[in-house]
Amino acid sequence: MSSYTGGRAGLTGAERTIEADSWRIGETTLTSRFFLGTGLFPNPYVQMEAIEASGAEVLTFAIRRVNLDAAEDDSILQHLQGHSFIYLPNTSGARTADEAVRIARLSRASGLSDWIKVEISANERTLLPDPIETLKATEILVKEGFTVLPYISDDPVICKRLEEAGAAAVMPGAAPIGTGLGLLNPYNIGLIVEESTVPVIVDAGLGTASDVTKAMELGVSGVLMNTPVAKSKDPVRMAEAMKHAITAGRLAYLSGRMAKKRYASASSGLDSFKLQ
Amino acid sequence: MELIINGSLRELEAENLAEVVGLLGLTGKPVAAEADGQIVSSEEWKQMAVRPGMRIELVHFVGGG
């Protein structure tokens, strides 16, 4: 039953569902559920192609000192001129709330965005977020009028606390940053989705398209990825794969999956009509 | 005068932050600045007088996730 032909030519019912399935972060309406990171790509050309293939509307960045000995080593922003993206800078490198707040203020002073991904890691080996410092920074930055999207552990309790502190979304990790291990605790991500009144974005640790689909099937609003796209052998194609994976998982979530059963049940009707 | 820019000592002849940014070839680029721990928006760079020994940080957006 996929032969919807009314309405806009060339669009299937599923495509129309996805097109109408917009969502919001703060005051901003988004259509894409893909937040794409901008690090680690082999070169700016591949990166631009991958951004295009991803359909992402939100791009993440880090804030670093300008290299004064190579000012020509220009930021990726020059390649993005003429496009309209929402910039989501992060506070990576911060180990405390104070450091994150400083980076956020500097970022806003650039005039490019008042969105900020709070990312505070004290442990170099795991880069896992420090939940206490993250909550402190979120409280301060919300009061200063930032749109705050904290990267946080997959813990429903801290996610709720961040929401209460005014976070515009919560971004629990699937696994540690850059590991590609996929969803380590789908149960917790599911609980976070159930309890959250702000969008939930799975950030970090995803590895491939099936990880993304599984995350979306849990009902998260979006995913944030960088390494699995940038470090694949073909980042442009992988960006497209991830886009389809998001769509697949989202449609499956909206459709409501069948209940799991322990034993087989035939799909061809009653026993009484079987040939004897 | 000697200024500490992004952690390194630099000898620059400038009166204000806008001139510092200009001498470093960064005018018009999306750069954010901090002078002695205080964030200075780009509209205020001209009014921000620089003093010998001032610690200036100049940052920008780079690739990241």
Domain regions of chain B by residue span = 2-53
Q: What is the pLDDT of residue A9?
A: 62
- List Cβ neighbours of A28 (8 Å cut-off, separation of 6 or more): A86, A147
Q: Is the dihedral of CA A144, A145, A151, A154 positive or negative?
A: positive
Least confident window among A74-88, A140-154, A156-170? A74-88
Average pLDDT over residues A136-160: 98
Write out pLDDT tens, residues A125-135: 999 999 999 99
Q: What is the DSSP string of A59-124?
A: EEEEEEE--TT-TTS--THHHHTTS--EEEEB-TTB-SHHHHHHHHHHHHHTTS-SEEEE-BB--T
Q: What is the pLDDT of residue A5?
A: 44
Q: What is the pLDDT of residue A72?
A: 60
Residues of A in contact with B26 (CB under 8 A): 66, 71
Residues of B in contact with A112 (CB under 8 A): 30, 61
Q: Using the beta-carbon criterion (under 8 Å), do B64 and A65 form an inter-chain contact?
A: no
Element holding A47 (H helix, E strand): helix A44-54
Establish if A210 belongs to a structural domain.
Answer: yes
Residues of B in contact with A64 (CB under 8 A): 59-60, 62
Question: Domain of A116: which CATH number?
Answer: 3.20.20.70
Average pLDDT over residues B41-46: 95
Average pLDDT over residues A74-97: 88
Burial group, residue A173, by CB count within 10 angstroms (0-12, 13-18, 19+) = buried
Mean pLDDT, rounded, of chain A: 93
Confidence grade of residue A8 (pLDDT, cut at 50, 70, 90): low
Average pLDDT over residues B14-21: 97
- For residue A116, CA distances in Å to A113, A136, B18, B30, B45 come to 8, 14, 26, 17, 24
In this predicted structure, the answer to whether residue B34 has a pLDDT above a threshold of 80 is yes
Interface list for chain A against chain B, based on CB atoms closer than 8 Å: 37-41, 47, 60-66, 68, 71, 74-77, 87, 89-90, 92, 105-107, 109-112, 177, 204, 224-227
In this predicted structure, the answer to whether residue A151 has a pLDDT above a threshold of 50 is yes
Q: What is the pLDDT of residue A255?
A: 97
Confidence grade of residue A69 (pLDDT, cut at 50, 70, 90): confident
Average pLDDT over residues A88-94: 98
Write out pLDDT tens, residues A185-208: 999 999 999 999 999 999 999 999
Average pLDDT over residues A72-81: 72
Establish if A191 belongs to a structural domain.
Answer: yes
Q: Using the beta-carbon criterion (under 8 Å), do A65 and B7 form an inter-chain contact?
A: yes
Q: Which domain holds residue A165?
A: 34-64+78-255
Give catalytic status of residue A261 as yes or no.
no
Average pLDDT over residues A240-261: 97
Instruction: Enter the ipTM.
Output: 0.96
Q: Between A61, A226, A227, which is nearest B61 by CB?
A: A61
Total number of domains in chain A? 1
Q: Reduce the DSSP state of residue B16 to 3 states and report it.
A: strand
In this predicted structure, the answer to whether residue A182 has a pLDDT above a threshold of 70 is yes
In this predicted structure, the answer to whether residue A96 has a pLDDT above a threshold of 70 is yes
In this predicted structure, the answer to whether residue A170 has a pLDDT above a threshold of 70 is yes
Q: What angle do CA A225, A229, A232 make, to 5 degrees?
A: 145
Q: Is B52 on the interface with A (CB under 8 A)?
A: no
